[in-house]
Amino acid sequence: MEQYSGKSILKKISIGKIFYYEKKQATVKRNKVEDTQAEVLRFQEAKKTAQEQLDLLYKKAQKEVGESGAAIFEVHMMLLDDDDYCESVYNIIESQKVSCEYAVAVTGDNFSKMFAEMDDEYMKERAADIKDITERVINILTGTNTDMSDLIEPIILVADDLAPSETVQMDKSKLLGFVTQFGSSNSHTAILARTMNIPALIGVDIKKEWNGKLAVIDGYKGTIVIDPQEDYLKEAKKQIEQDLKKQELLRQLKGQPAVTKDGTKVHLYANIGSVSDVASALYNDAEGIGLFRSEFLYLESDDFPTQNEQLNAYKTVAENMAGKKVIIRTLDVGADKKVDYFHLDEEENPALGYRAIRICLTREDVFRTQLSAILRASAYGNLSIMFPMIISVEEVKKAKRILQEVKDQLKADHIEYKDVEVGVMIETPAAVMMSEELAAEVDFFSIGTNDLTQYTLAIDRQNPKLDDFYDPHHPAVLRMIKQTVENGHKGGAWVGICGELASDTSLTETFLRMGVDELSVSSTFLLSVKDKVRSLDLSK
């Protein structure tokens, strides 16, 4: 039994086998072979495995984002079965007497280059698909663990670090916990762990030889134990049972209003990142969705999601929430949320760079597509639109102008939509200072405390070296929240909080006394926040 320490993200315990994830490209060399027929058979077996993986992904995407969102995996299966592609692999193996890995790599390079140079835009876009299927086959041939979307059994994931684009592709039902060597307690991966209600440790001295071994993550102590002894396992299982009993007690609050003893009401909404998260939101009694992180539709895709793909996702959430409010945050990529096909430049300081609303206002085609999809989906439920990273009234006016133009076009095309509430994220000191003027332009504010803390304290929340300096309870942060609430109400806008602080029950009373109208949290925290609200008496 070995024990290692790290920084805990969530106070919870998990037991399971370790899956060691290596974030590396498979290395392919030009190796000569004698038995070319054996290499052909290896390719055919790898191709079959890849098609099985893609079929599973297709079915998963069908459930989560609908038929159009799953279509990309159907395209990948077709390309993998393309006669020209396969014949090229066979020919290189036979004529050059090389390994099938090398033949697949050369074929992939040749075909992706050929597609990229075509005039037809649709054919050009297939270049990225060719690269993707080629990488998938090579990873299967070399045994490289890069695909976490088709895990067979529940696992504890161990990795150097994880990007949002990697975590979003995982089969979340198969994840028992995260352990990483790098990363920050305020990173998007940490937020995902809290959203999924699974323990996570960062800053652990991980080892490759852990792969396949049984382990226990103890989020209370901030430790991971490898090959635990029987008595330790027994205690861990006992703690898990106690945690489950606590959750069952909280479930008794389902259906009860989020009202303090003196009658103060606060709306409790859920934060979600995908269509599949709605089930957890409803299960935990969410009154609505306070933050739908729409960027995950982009992070999950190999190319810009089409209007219909987005429509299907937004429509599904709207229908499943059955008239409850659903606030969709418009595209918020950039900084640590990198999407390859956006071709964003490397930046010296990406947190202060080209991201979120700045991308939308300068790439209007992308923005208009998303706004059109949201408006079309509004016909099926109670949707609202929220713009992120706002720093000025001018930005809001420009975004609203584009929104109105999209409405006008839909009206001209006789496409049904509803009028929707429009709000902004308050996550910069500039937005706080301008909050009274901004309130006159919008229906609501949602305070993003993660970025607001980062920008107020001048601390990069992705930098683990600064975790001890990162203080979301800092008086400056709390004063900014209070000022935003006061100015929002003065201007007629309701005010919510959707950042991580919304689930911090040590601040629930503070927020309610400030007059916060809504708290939006990861689904798993909804009932504990409701329990806290119902225990308060603000008249005292």
Residue ranges and CATH numbers for the domains of the chain are 2-23+149-240 (3.50.30.10), 36-142 (1.10.274.10), 266-534 (3.20.20.60)
From the candidates 76, 100, 188, 360, give the one annotated as an active-site residue: 188
Return the percentage of the chain with pLDDT > 70, whole number: 91
Average pLDDT over residues 354-363: 89
The b-or-e profile of 459-495 (16+ CB within 10 A means b, else e) is bbbbebebeeebebeeeebbebbbbbbebbbebebbb
pLDDT at residue number 319 = 93
Closest C-alpha to 404, from 391, 394, 393, 417: 417
Return the percentage of the chain with pLDDT > 90, whole number: 52
Give yes or no for residue 182 having a pLDDT over 70: yes
pLDDT at residue number 168 = 58
Average pLDDT over residues 32-46: 92
Mean residue pLDDT across the chain: 87
Q: What is the pLDDT of residues 369-392, one digit of tens each?
A: 999 999 999 999 999 999 999 999
Task: Look at the block and give the residue holding tokens 């991580």.
Answer: 500
Residue 100 known to be catalytic: no
Residue 188 known to be catalytic: yes
Measured distance CA(259)–CA(307) in Å, rounded? 40
Q: What is the pLDDT of residues 402-421, one digit of tens each?
A: 999 999 999 999 999 999 99
Distances, alpha carbon 373 to alpha carbons 285, 316, 339, 430, in Å: 27, 12, 20, 30
Measured distance CA(369)–CA(319) in Å, rounded? 21
From the candidates 76, 100, 360, 498, give the one annotated as an active-site residue: 498
